[in-house]
Amino acid sequence: MLSEAGMKRALQQYLDGFNQGDAETIISLFADDARIEDPVGGGKIVAGNAAITAFYTRAVEVVERLDLDTPIRGSRGRSAAMAFTIRLKSDAEASQQGTVIRVIDVMTFNESGKIVDMKAFHGFSDVSR
C-alpha cells in the first residue's frame, strides 16, 4: 500500500544505497517497467529493469556520496521529491573528477510502493568542479 511515509522511506533508501555503494538496494526500489529521465530535457531516457540495472551499477562506481540539502518531501499523490548534492569520486573519469551536481529528483510510485518514474532536474549551471 502506497503511503507518504513509504515514499519518503524509499527516497532515503535511495540515498543510503548510493552512500553505501549498493546498486542492488537502489535497483530494488524500481518497478520492472520504470522509466528514468536524467537530466530532464537532456535526451537520456533509461527504461526497463536491464537498463536501470546498468545505469545504477555504473552510477555507484563514480558517485562518492549524495548529501541531502533539505528534508525529503512527500505529496498527497503518488510522488515524492528531494534536493541533494552529488559528489563524484576523485578517481572518476578525468572529465568528471571533483564534479558536484545539485539535483532535485521527483519520483512517482505505483500502488505497490515501487518507483515507476524518476525525473532528475539539473541544468548546466547546477554542475561545478
DSSP string, 64-125: EEEEESS--B--SSSEEEEEEEEEE-TTS-TTTTT-EEEEEEEEEE-TTS-EEEEEEE--GG
Provide the grid cell at 2. Answer: 502506497
Residue 110 sits in a domain whose CATH number is 3.10.450.50
Domain count, the chain: 1
Length of the chain: 129
Q: What are 115-125's pLDDT values in tens digits?
A: 999 999 999 99
Structural domain boundaries, residue 64? 4-128
Q: How far apart are CA 75 and CA 108, in angstroms?
A: 10
Positions annotated as catalytic residues are: 14, 38
Report pTM.
0.93
Q: What are 57-94's pLDDT values in tens digits?
A: 999 999 999 999 999 999 999 999 999 999 998 765 65
